[in-house]
Amino acid sequence: MTELETAMGMILDVFAKYSGTEGNKQSLTKGELKTLMEKELPGFLQNGKDKEEVDKLLQDLDANGDAEVDFSEFMVFVATLTSLCHQFFQ
């Protein structure tokens, strides 16, 4: 597999690892999103306002208003975060 194919597979695996532990296997609940961020992006939840930050993030990501983050919404998050990191290191 190429590096890009490997990276795509890893994104799919990370989403699958956390989705469905509390309900729908095709989306992340607020709790699942928080766990994913704590484990996979620990630098993003460092202060005492973790719950408020996750609530705001979920609201911002939840394009269809179902109070969960589906894979397409998750990919918008990953792509935006990756783009911001790219810009930061330019």
What φ, ψ does residue 70 adopt, rounded to 5°?
-85, 180
71-to-19, 45, 47, 51, 76 alpha-carbon distances in Å = 9, 21, 27, 22, 9
Positions of the chain with pLDDT under 70: 45-51
pLDDT confidence of residue 18: 97
The total domain count for the chain is 1
pLDDT, tens only, 77-87:
899 888 888 88
CATH of the domain at 63: 1.10.238.10
User: Which domain covers residue 34, as residue numbers?
Assistant: 3-88
